[in-house]
Amino acid sequence: MRSHLLEGKVRHHRSAPFTYGLEHDVWYAALDLAELDELDHRLRLFGHNHRAAAVFRDADHLPVPAADVAAELRARLRAEGEDPDGWRITLVTNLRVLGHVFNPASFFLCRDAAGTLRFVVVEVHNTFGERHLYPLRPGDGDGTSARPFKAGMAKDFFVSPFISIDGDYAVHVRDEPGSLKLAINLRQAGRPVISTSLVLRRRRLTDRALARMLLRYPLVTRKTVGLIRLHALRLWLRGAPFFRHGDVLRAREATR
């Protein structure tokens, strides 16, 4: 199986209007979308659209909850002008644990038949229950470990009340045999504001390895939500500018 686990750290650094940083241990599943049924059959602790210790549910992904995430993601690639026939798509994401999941960002890594990383779709969720896709072609680099996948995108989705909706993201993906490194950096008015990175080591996906992750990182996505709220409180106490979700959306609609 090509599907595997990823374990490592998430780092988040804010440089404006003041310096603020965080670092936490995390784990993810890297699921080959063609292997979901095989994983469901082979692993006792993994479930695809049914109850298990760790569950992948199609409806947890895509802006309109997916019925078949593999087919619908390929349809999205075709709508972007790509021909994904023969491509291998790996989704880096959190699994649903004890009925709960929250994914601040998931990554669809789309490789062609030769294994080159041709396209990345970043799926962003916010705490208001909204989802958004950023489809990315490499702006430079060829997707190999020597020259990582690099792309840019305009920020057009409300993520945090402590970040305005304007700005531009730069996304870097370094896909190596033993590790995966992902970075998303936000610039506003030409200035760096936030840098976020995931530095992850690859692990085999077995029942034993999955049990280890579940025991070492219990209720990982509930912890993620709790930490988001804790850091939000700290930012508020330090006087970070606050942008209300409804006000931002109304302002955007007025400019269209």
The answer to whether residues 61 and 119 touch, using CB atoms and an 8 Å cutoff, is: no
Sign of CA dihedral 81, 85, 87, 93: positive
Q: What is the pLDDT of residue 256?
A: 56
Q: Is 242 helix (H, G, I), strand (E, B) or coil?
A: coil
Measured CA to CA, the distance from residue 173 to residue 196 in angstroms comes to: 12
Measured CA to CA, the distance from residue 64 to residue 158 in angstroms comes to: 17
Q: Which domain holds residue 9?
A: 4-255
Q: How far is CA 224 from the centre of its chain?
A: 13
Q: What is the pLDDT of residue 58?
A: 98
In tens, the pLDDT along 134-168 reads 999 998 444 444 468 999 999 989 898 888 888 99
Checking if the pLDDT of 40 tops 80, the result is yes
The answer to whether residues 119 and 135 touch, using CB atoms and an 8 Å cutoff, is: yes
- CA-atom Rg of the chain in angstroms: 18
Measured CA to CA, the distance from residue 34 to residue 56 in angstroms comes to: 13
Domain count, the chain: 1
Mean per-residue pLDDT of the chain: 90
Measured CA to CA, the distance from residue 234 to residue 179 in angstroms comes to: 32
- Percent of the chain with pLDDT strictly greater than 70: 93
Measured CA to CA, the distance from residue 24 to residue 136 in angstroms comes to: 27
